[in-house]
C-alpha cells in the first residue's frame, strides 16, 4: 500500500516570517505539497512515537492538502494524527490543542491574512511541541532537505472522512478527529470572567465582530453570541469560505473596510473587532475610533490586573522591533522586563517558555500572551471587552486616558508592494551601507541620533538574528525598514514610522508622521529606485 514516488526538488520551499506561503497555482502543482511535507518528515526523523495536529483555515486546497498529508504521514510511519473536524482550526486554537494534549507539534494550513482561492495564496505553518512555530534553524534544515529530495512516500488509499468526531486507522497510523473549537473556548473561559462579560452584553452594550469569511466565524458565534449573549447578528461574515468571499482577510483599516465604515457611521456599535484568515490577528475599534495594535498591546499590559488569569502578576512584555515603543513605557512604569525581538511570533516563544514574558505583540495586528505560543485574535477581543466591563469606559476613553498617562506614539506603516526582488534587495543593502554616515544629519527639527541594523541576541538559545534597519531620532522618533517575509511574489518594502509626543496627543496620526515619511523615502531613495512616489498600502 505504501508507494515510493520519485520526485525532483522545488527550489523555493523556504519558509518565511510564518511558514511557507505561495500562490495557489504553485502549491497545486504535482508533488509540491508532497515534497515539502516529506522534507519536514525527513528533518523530524523517527515518527513512530509522534502525534501531530492537522488542520487549516479552510481556504481553497485545505481539504485536498489534508488528504495528501494524512497519506504521506501514514506512509512515513507517524504514530498518530489528530485532525480538526472538517479540517478547520484557527492558528491559536491549534496552539491550544498541541499544548493541552502534549502533541509533538502540528501543521496549520494557512497563508494567514493573504487572500485565498485559486488565484490567491496557500500556505503551511509548522509548529513544534511548544505550540509555536519552529525556529529558523529548523526551517533552514527543511529548506536544505527539500533542495536534495529525490523521493517521497505516500499511502495508496481512498480519502478519509474527517467530518465526524472519532478515531480510526489509516494504514498503521491512528487518526483522531477532534472538535477544533471546544478546547479553545474552554481556554478562553479559563482566562476571562465570562460572568462579567455576560453582564456587559445584558446591559445593552453592543458589539460587531467581523470574521471576514474566515476561520474564526464559528468560534466567534459560540463565544460572543452563544456564551456571552451579544445579540444574534453581532458576528458578521461568519461562514468560512474557500476564497473568503473575495475578501482580503486582513483586519486593518484598508481591508476590513465594511466594519470600519460601520463603526464610523451613525449606526455604529459600542465596540468593533475583526480577525484575519487564520484567527491570530485582531483589530480593535470603538465608536468612530481606531486603536492601533501598538497601543492595544500597551493598554492590555497596563490593565493586566483586571483579568483573573493575570491578576496575580505577570512576567515581562515583548514587542517586535518595528512595533512602537508604547509598551516600553508601560513596562517601565510597572517595573517588569521588556524585550524587543525580530518580526515573527516565533521569536517570542523562547521568552515565554523561559518565563521572561507574559504579553507580546506586533504592529501588524498581532497581540497575545503566554497562554499559548501564537498570537490570538479572539483573546485580544475578549481582553478589551473585559477592560470595558471592569471600567465602564468607552474604547476611546480608555485609549485617550492611556495617552494622557504615557504619551502617544503616533504610528503609521507604509507598504511598497510588488517591487522587483533584486531592486528591493539592492535598496536595503545600499541603505545599510549608508547608515553609519547618517548620524547627526538634520531634517528641519528632526535630527538623527543613530542609525543601525536591528540585531537580536536570543537570551535563551544564543541565536543571532538580523532583521530590519532602524533610524533613531533625537526626539524619540524612529524609522524602520524591512522586507516582508510573507508575500508570495515580488518584494514588499515595509517602512514603519513612529513619532512620540508626551503632551500633544490628539492629532491626526498621518499628519504627525508625514515629515518622517518624507525623510524615509528620501534616505532610502524609494521613488528613484522603485518608481513609487507613494505607498501602496498605508495602515
Is 276 among the residues that bind Co ion (CB under 5 A)? Answer: yes
Question: What cell was used for 89?
Answer: 482550526
The site for Co ion, by CB under 5 A, has a size of 5
Q: How far is the CB of 324 from ligand VG1 (least distance, A)?
A: 13
How far, in Å, CA of 168 to CA of 359, rounded?
Answer: 39
Alpha carbons 57 and 211: distance in angstroms, whole number? 12
Binding test (CB under 6 A) with ligand VG1, winner from 18, 142, 211, 268: 18
- Applying the rule CB under 6 A, the residues between 277 and 316 that interact with ligand VG1 are 278, 280-281
Smallest distance from Co ion to CB 294, Å: 18
Given ligand VG1, Co ion, none, residue 402, with its beta carbon under 5 to 8 Å by kind, binds none
Q: Which of 112, 320, 370, 386 is catalytic?
A: 112
Q: In what order do the strands lie in the sheet with 121-128?
A: 20-23, 121-128, 105-109, 51-56, 80-88, 173-178, 166-170
| Least distance to ligand VG1, CB of residue 247, Å | 15
CB under 5 to 8 A by kind: which of Co ion, ligand VG1, none does 43 bind? Answer: none
Concatenate the DSSP letters of all residues of 437-482 into one string. GGTT-EETTEEEEEEEEEEEE-TTT--EEEEEEEEEETTS-EEEEE
Question: How far apart (Å, rounded) are the C-alpha atoms in residues 352 and 370?
Answer: 6
Show the site string, 110-139: x = touches ligand VG1 by CB under 6 A, - = not.
--xx--------------------------
Rounded to whole angstroms, the Cα distance separating 170 from 8 reads: 27
| Interatomic CA distance for residues 435 and 416, integer angstroms | 21
* Closest residue to Co ion using C-beta atoms: 112
Look at the block and give the residue holding cell 493573504.
114
Q: Which is nearer to Co ion, 112 or 370 (CB)?
A: 112
Choose the contact partner of 53 out of Co ion, ligand VG1, none; CB within 5 to 8 A by kind: none
Between strands 51-56 and 80-88, the pairing is: parallel
Binders of ligand VG1 among residues 63 to 92 (CB under 6 A) are none
CA 97 to mean position of chain CA atoms: 18
DSSP for 21-39, written as a single string: EEEHHHHTSTTHHHHHHHH
Q: For this structure, is 112 an active site residue?
A: yes
Here's the x/- map for ligand VG1, 323-362, by CB under 6 A: it reads as: --------------------xxx----------------x
**On the CB side of 260, how many CA atoms lie within 13 Å of its CA?**
13
Contact partner, 484, from ligand VG1, Co ion, none, Cβ < 5-8 Å per class: ligand VG1
CB 104 within 8 A of CB 51: yes
Binding residue (CB under 5 A) for Co ion from 270, 278, 295, 363: 278
d(CA 260, CA 289): 9
Minimum distance from residue 251 beta carbon to Co ion (Å): 9
x/- map, 102-131, Co ion, by CB under 5 A: ----------x-------------------
Does 494 help bind ligand VG1 (rule: CB under 6 A)?
Answer: yes
Contact status: 498 vs Co ion (CB under 5 A): no
- Catalytically active residues are 112
* Residues of the shown chain interacting with Co ion in the complex, contacts defined by CB under 5 A: 112, 276, 278, 280-281
Binding site for ligand VG1 (CB under 6 A): 17-18, 112-113, 276, 278, 280-281, 320, 343-345, 362, 364, 366, 484-486, 494
Amino acid at each position: 500500500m505504501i508507494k515510493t514516488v520519485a520526485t525532483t526538488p522545488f527550489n523555493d520551499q523556504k519558509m518565511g516570517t510564518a511558514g511557507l506561503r505561495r500562490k495557489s497555482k504553485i502549491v497545486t502543482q504535482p508533488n509540491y505539497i508532497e515534497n515539502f511535507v516529506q522534507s519536514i518528515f525527513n528533518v523530524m526523523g523517527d515518527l513512530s512515537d509522534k502525534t501531530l495536529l492537522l488542520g487549516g483555515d479552510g481556504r481553497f486546497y485545505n481539504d485536498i492538502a489534508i488528504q495528501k498529508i494524512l497519506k504521506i504521514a501514514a506512509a512515513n510511519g507517524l504514530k498518530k494524527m489528530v485532525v480538526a473536524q472538517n479540517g478547520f482550526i484557527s492558528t491559536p486554537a491549534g496552539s491550544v490543542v498541541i499544548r493541552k494534549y502534549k502533541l509533538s507539534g502540528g501543521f496549520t494550513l494557512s497563508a494567514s491574512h493573504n487572500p485565498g482561492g485559486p488565484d490567491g495564496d496557500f500556505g503551511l505553518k509548522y509548529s513544534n511541541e511548544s505550540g509555536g512555530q519552529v525556529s529558523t534553524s529548523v526551517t533552514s534544515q527543511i529548506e536544505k532537505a527539500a533542495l536534495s529530495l529525490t523521493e517521497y512516500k505516500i499511502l495508496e488509499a481512498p480519502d478519509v472522512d474527517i467530518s465526524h468526531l472519532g478515531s480510526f486507522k489509516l494504514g498503521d497510523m491512528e487518526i483522531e478527529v477532534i472538535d477544533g473549537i471546544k478546547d479553545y473556548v474552554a481556554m478562553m473561559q479559563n482566562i476571562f470572567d465570562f460572568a462579567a462579560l455576560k453582564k456587559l452584553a445584558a446591559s445593552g452594550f453592543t458589539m460587531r465582530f467581523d470574521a471576514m469569511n474566515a476561520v474564526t466565524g464559528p468560534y466567534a458565534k459560540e463565544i460572543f453570541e452563544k456564551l456571552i449573549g451579544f445579540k444574534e447578528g453581532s458576528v458578521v461574515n461568519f461562514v468560512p469560505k474557500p476564497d473568503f468571499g473575495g475578501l482580503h482577510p486582513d483586519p486593518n483599516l484598508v481591508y476590513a473596510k465594511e466594519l470600519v465604515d460601520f463603526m464610523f457611521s451613525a449606526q455604529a456599535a459600542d465596540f468593533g473587532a475583526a480577525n484575519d484568515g487564520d484567527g491570530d490577528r485582531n483589530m480593535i475599534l470603538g465608536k468612530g475610533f481606531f486603536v492601533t495594535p501598538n497601543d492595544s498591546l500597551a493598554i492590555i499590559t497596563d490593565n493586566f490586573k483586571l483579568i483573573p488569569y493575570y491578576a496575580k502578576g505577570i512576567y515581562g512584555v515583548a514587542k517586535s522591533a518595528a512595533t512602537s515603543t508604547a509598551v516600553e513605557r508601560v513596562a517601565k512604569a510597572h517595573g517588569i522586563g521588556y524585550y524587543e525581538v525580530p518580526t515573527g511570533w516565533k521569536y517570542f516563544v523562547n521568552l515565554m517558555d523561559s518565563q521572561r514574558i507574559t504579553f507580546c505583540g506586533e504592529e501588524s495586528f498581532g497581540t497575545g500572551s503566554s497562554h499559548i505560543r501564537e498570537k490570538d485574535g479572539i483573546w485580544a477581543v475578549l481582553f478589551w471587552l473585559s477592560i470595558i466591563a471592569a471600567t465602564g469606559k468607552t474604547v476611546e476613553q480608555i485609549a485617550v486616558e492611556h495617552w494622557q498617562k504615557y504619551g502617544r506614539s503616533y504610528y503609521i506603516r507604509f507598504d511598497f508592494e510588488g517591487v522587483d526582488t533584486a531592486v528591493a534587495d539592492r535598496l536595503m543593502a545600499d541603505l545599510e551601507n549608508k547608515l553609519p554616515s547618517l548620524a547627526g544629519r538634520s531634517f528641519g527639527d528632526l535630527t538623527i541620533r543613530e542609525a543601525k541594523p536591528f540585531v537580536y541576541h536570543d537570551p535563551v538559545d544564543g541565536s543571532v538574528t538580523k532583521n530590519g534597519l532602524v533610524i533613531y531620532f533625537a526626539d524619540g522618533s524612529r524609522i524602520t525598514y524591512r522586507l516582508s517575509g510573507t508575500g508570495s511574489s515580488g518584494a514588499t518594502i515595509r517602512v514603519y514610522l513612529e513619532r512620540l509626543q508626551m503632551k500633544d496627543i490628539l492629532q491626526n496620526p498621518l499628519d504627525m508622521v508625514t515629515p518622517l515619511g518624507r525623510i524615509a523615502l528620501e534616505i532610502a531613495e524609494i521613488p528613484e529606485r522603485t518608481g513609487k512616489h507613494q505607498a501602496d498600502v498605508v495602515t
